[in-house]
Amino acid sequence: MSQNRTIYVGMHDGVCAVSSADGGQTWQQGPVTDLPHAAARLVAGPANPQTAYLAAYEAGVYRSDDGGASWRKLDTYPSPYAHSVLAHPSEPDTIYVGSEPATVYRSTDGGASWQELDGFRAVPEAGDWGFHAPTRDSHVRDLRVAPNDAGRLYGGIEVGGMVRSDDAGKSWKQLPGLNDDIHCVHLSGDRPDSIYVATARAPYRSDDGGDNWQLINAGLERRYTLHIAASPDDADLVLVTVSENARRLNPQFYRSTDAGQSWTLVDGLGAGENPEDMVVAFDWDPEEPNKVYAGTDGGGLYSSGDSGKTWQKLPVQLPTVAVGALAVSAG
């Protein structure tokens, strides 16, 4: 097992990497690359821990090949918007990016060229997709791949609901049964057909690949759900961050050990220290399932070594506020 860890951190105005060479005993922060609207989604390349991709809202797509020390814009990306990014689990040069208006682009050469997946906009329900603000349009807020099937893709649309592809993005199907204001989608390798989704109404879970959905908000004091993720080796162990509304008023962080049937409030990070500091992104360690890392609206980075029960602040002071995206890489 590698002792090297890299946390890629996307903020509101930049992106950087925080790394450890001793299993998390000490941490070093790398240089910050200034970027406009950088904090959308980050993903580490599964084949090469030094490679990462950033979807940067209105600034396009960026790639790092040196563990986050530097980032270059992929100028061939054909859209001004990039809201989500997904790296293929077994094809190192294949990546997917979710855009606005809601569509998906794919590159099979590491971002040198792109193809729009026309089947995405061909979904019959696509005409009903939209957004709250009249100056913006629906967008693909999150993209995920099934842990047991690289051809099964999931897209979460803000606002438009969930869609699924069973043929690597050639065709897509709308998945009804949950709130259509999607913020985050997550699957655990422990039970690949279980999908957790964070929405503006509440969190949901499906246990059959998205065909049916169950509301899992019993015990949550807030309804607005921003981020959700299950442990990679225990699909019943779930973390979620909620608040009262889109302005992130009165945030809270919860943990569940029964797939969201009940929730326990977690103290010690974000709102545990500052009532207004919301946990906005977190990611499980790819090699040590009991470890998880989190970033807050106030720019704090935290780690947990007991699957999210207790948390410690990392000795890193980011030069800016608002962590918006986070991805962890090992090796």
- Give the pLDDT confidence score for residue 288 in this predicted structure: 94
What 3-state class would DSSP assign to 29?
strand
Average pLDDT over residues 155-168: 98
Nearest to 239 by CA among 222, 221, 259: 259
Residue 156 predicted with pLDDT over 80 = yes
pLDDT tens per residue across span 96-114:
999 999 999 999 999 999 9
The band of 273, judged by pLDDT with boundaries at 50, 70 and 90, is low
> From residue 264, how far is each of 254, 260, 267 by CA, in Å?
5, 10, 10
Q: Give the per-residue pLDDT at 225.
A: 98
pLDDT on residue 269: 74
Whether residue 148 has pLDDT greater than 90: yes
**Sheet bearing 214-215, strands edge to edge:** 182-187, 195-199, 203-206, 214-215
pLDDT at 272: 52
Round the average pLDDT of the chain to a whole number and report it: 94
Examine the pLDDT at 151 and tell me if it is beyond 90.
Answer: yes
The per-residue pLDDT for 319 is 65
Q: Which of the pair, 35 or 203, is modelled with greater confidence?
A: 203
87/61 Cα distance (integer angstroms): 13
Structural domains in the chain, CATH included, are 5-330 (2.130.10.10)
The pLDDT confidence band at residue 126, using thresholds 50, 70 and 90, is very high
